[in-house]
């Protein structure tokens, strides 16, 4: 497939990485020559310096032969222009990154199709969805959709006094439930452990669990019997993301308090939110302001301001003042792994990384390899199809060698989730979600490649 990506920022570069593999020709267009040079260092992509909102630039990038155009710059207006131009050139699939849905007004016939937009992603909306999932499920730190229906991979921390603590995976006390799932990774002391049958689970381990959502939730409930639901949430920040999150918390039925920076922002928030919501004006890195907001009574705090460092500091203060679960929003991709290893912060979310995972769900499975980029461990989830002649076709999982840096997380057979247990035989046509250490793709491709090619 021929794919053009407009924008070499955090979203565009991650999308290029996810789509650049055998069978896809990716061209990235950006006005920043330095960003394109950095992208070329680690990805086999074509790059073009120029403004993708200009027809001549798109023609030079090969838009007349393109199958997909992804408009992923930091400007919604530029992205809409790129999709409109791509539509005029007859491109079949156009996806835009936007900051809001307000560009569309169905009552005025201003639909996405009018702009040539087939699908769109809104990083803030995706981030709010992920944060709400972490609030609704208190022990969950990260989750990602991996296949049809409600299949997902979920990271949860094994609490002390859990019935899962000290269990050898092959001797689980709830085998009937675990047989419908897959423990596909464990994060222990900041390191990724690829689990095997004789792996023993310990309290404070973060386990990655794959399966249908109802089975995942049932297992987490069994493994975390003392987990309390989150009922009171304190949100800090005046960003659009913070306000979107505040609305979502209200709609979920949780009690909300909000700390904003200025009186003008407090008035704006008061107009948007319900009368019973408490809105406080003050600096959210000030412990006295957090105490005024009753941070010690909050089951969860989410720091969603515009400054990543301030959000991290707010979470650390909140944890020391007695808040329950503390969650930080960050915008620097390098902070993801740092937050994942800070014991004072339960989890962090980056809207731009979440946007890439959402984008991958909008792209046909026949042309993507990545399903999700994981934030808490140096691993990715790949989506691969077993073709005729593949090395693993016809073998039981227990018989497959060369899997030291990877785990079969899920098998999708005729649209249904099949747990990839050792006795399961891999069939031609199976679509398999594989959790793999980053930079270990070669071993995976050898397994899924034809014997005639390797």
- Say which CATH architecture domain 365-448 belongs to: 2-Layer Sandwich (3.30)
DSSP annotation string for 191-238: EEE---TTPBP-TT-EEEEEEEHHHHHHHHHHH-TTPPPP-EEEEE--
Query: Per-residue confidence of the chain (454 residues) as pLDDT tens digits?
Result: 899 999 999 899 988 988 886 568 999 999 999 999 999 998 889 999 999 999 999 999 999 999 999 999 999 999 999 999 999 999 999 999 999 999 998 888 889 999 999 999 999 999 999 999 999 999 999 998 887 778 999 999 999 889 999 999 988 888 888 888 999 999 998 888 888 889 999 999 999 999 999 999 999 999 999 999 999 999 999 999 999 999 999 999 999 999 999 999 999 999 999 999 999 999 999 999 999 999 999 999 999 999 999 999 999 999 999 999 999 999 887 787 788 888 899 999 999 888 888 887 777 655 556 677 888 888 888 888 898 988 899 999 988 876 777 889 999 998 889 989 888 999 999 999 999 887 777 778 778 875 443 2
- Collapsed DSSP state (helix, strand, coil) of residue 87: helix
Q: What is the CATH number of domain 2-121?
A: 3.40.50.720
Kindly list the domain boundaries of the chain, sorted by start residue: 2-121, 126-223, 232-347, 365-448
Secondary-structure breakdown of the chain: helix, strand, coil percentages, each rounded to the nearest 5:
35, 25, 40
**pTM score of the predicted model:** 0.87
Give the end-to-end CA distance of the chain in Å, rounded to a whole number: 23
CATH 2.40.33.10 fits 126-223, yes or no: no
* Burial degree of 331 (CB within 10 A; 0-12, 13-18, 19+): middle
Which fold would CATH assign to domain 232-347? Rossmann fold (3.40.50)
Domains 2-121 and 126-223 share a fold: no
What is the number of other CB atoms lying within 10 angstroms of the CB of residue 400? 15
């Amino acid at each position: 497939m021929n794919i053009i990506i407009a924008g070499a920022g955090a979203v565009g570069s991650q999308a290029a990485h996810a789509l650049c593999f055998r069978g896809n020709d990716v061209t990235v267009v950006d006005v920043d020559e330095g960003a394109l040079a950095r992208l070329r260092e680690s990805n086999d992509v074509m790059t073009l310096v120029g403004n993708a909102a200009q027809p001549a630039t798109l023609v030079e990038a090969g838009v007349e032969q393109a199958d997909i155009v992804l408009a992923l710059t930091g400007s919604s207006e530029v992205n809409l222009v790129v999709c409109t131009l791509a539509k005029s050139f007859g491109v079949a699939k156009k996806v835009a990154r936007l900051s809001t849905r307000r560009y569309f007004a169905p009552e005025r016939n201003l639909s996405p199709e009018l702009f040539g937009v087939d699908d769109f992603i809104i990083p803030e909306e995706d981030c709010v969805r992920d944060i709400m999932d972490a609030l609704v499920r208190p022990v969950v730190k990260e989750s990602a959709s991996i296949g049809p229906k409600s299949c997902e991979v979920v990271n949860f921390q094994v609490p002390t006094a859990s019935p899962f603590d000290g269990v050898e995976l092959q001797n689980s006390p709830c085998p009937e439930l675990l047989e419908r799932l897959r423990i596909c990774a464990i994060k222990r002391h900041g390191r990724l452990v690829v689990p095997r049958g004789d792996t023993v689970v310990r309290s404070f381990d973060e386990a990655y669990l794959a399966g249908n959502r109802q089975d995942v939730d049932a297992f987490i409930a069994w493994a975390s019997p003392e987990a309390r639901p989150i009922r009171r949430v304190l949100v800090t920040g005046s960003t659009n993301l913070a306000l979107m999150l505040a609305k979502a918390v209200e709609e979920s039925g949780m009690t909300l308090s909000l700390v904003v920076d200025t009186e003008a922002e407090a008035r704006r928030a008061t107009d948007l939110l319900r009368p019973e919501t408490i809105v406080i004006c003050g600096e959210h890195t000030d412990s006295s302001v957090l105490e005024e907001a009753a941070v010690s009574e909050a089951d969860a705090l989410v720091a969603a301001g515009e400054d990543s460092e301030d959000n991290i500091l707010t979470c650390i203060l909140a944890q020391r003042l007695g808040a329950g679960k503390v969650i930080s929003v960050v915008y620097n991709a390098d902070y993801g792994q740092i937050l994942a290893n800070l014991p004072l912060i339960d989890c962090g979310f980056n809207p731009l990384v979440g946007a890439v995972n959402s984008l991958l769900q909008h792209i046909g499975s026949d042309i993507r390899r990545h399903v999700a980029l994981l934030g808490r461990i140096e691993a990715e989830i790949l989506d691969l199809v077993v073709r005729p002649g593949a090395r693993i076709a016809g073998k039981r999982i227990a018989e497959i060698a060369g899997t030291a840096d990877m785990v079969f997380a899920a098998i999708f057979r005729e649209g249904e989730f099949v747990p990839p247990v050792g006795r399961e035989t891999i069939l031609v046509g199976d679509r398999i979600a594989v959790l793999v250490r980053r930079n270990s793709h070669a071993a995976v491709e050898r397994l899924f490649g034809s014997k005639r090619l390797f």
